[in-house]
């Protein structure tokens, strides 16, 4: 079955760190660029970061640059999002999404179910 499954969400105190994982199945993970997109409660979609198929190219939204790190382990069919210095406005559902291109194209054709991150003391 072709799918993406996120994990690692939860309730975290401000200033702490968290690592989200997104594990794929049913397709050749190493052929595709992968994105993270987030959605704050009741709000719209915000693109966060992308990594190319081989991890050599990475880009970030300005709002997360310097605090978030995207990485991937193609041997484990998994993409990660390391989030440091968490703030209240990081509270959101975080989705991973597959790009139809190996390079960074932007057609997001497959999404995970999302992982909720709540930043609260």
Range in contact with another protein (rule: CB under 8 A) among 11-19, 23-31, 57-65, 76-84: 57-65
CB count within 10 Å of CB 121 equals: 9
Residue number with CB closer to another protein (31 or 113): 113
Number of residues engaging another protein in binding (CB under 8 A)? 22
**If you write DSSP's letter for every residue of 71-100 in order, what string do you get?**
EEETTTTEEEEEE-S--GGG-EEEEEEEES
d(CA 88, CA 21): 21
Examine residue 35 and tell whether it contacts another protein (CB under 8 A).
yes
Residue number with CB closer to another protein (108 or 119): 108
Examine residue 5 and tell whether it contacts another protein (CB under 8 A).
no
Nearby residues of 93 by Cβ (< 8 Å), 6 or more positions away: 38, 39, 114, 115, 116, 117
Which parts of this chain interact with another protein (CB under 8 A)? 35, 37, 44-47, 50, 59, 61-62, 95, 100, 104-109, 111-114
């Amino acid at each position: 079955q072709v799918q993406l499954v996120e994990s690692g969400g939860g309730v975290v105190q401000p200033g702490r760190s968290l690592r989200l994982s997104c594990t794929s199945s049913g397709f050749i993970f190493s052929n595709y660029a992968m994105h993270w997109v987030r959605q704050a409660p009741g709000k719209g979609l915000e693109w966060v970061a992308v990594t190319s198929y081989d991890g050599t190219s990475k880009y970030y939204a300005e709002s997360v640059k310097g605090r978030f790190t995207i990485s991937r382990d193609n041997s484990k069919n998994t993409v990660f999002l390391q989030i440091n210095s968490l703030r209240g406005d990081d509270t959101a559902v975080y989705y991973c999404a597959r790009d139809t291109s190996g390079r960074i194209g932007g057609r997001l054709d497959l999404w995970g179910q999302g992982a909720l991150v709540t930043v609260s003391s």
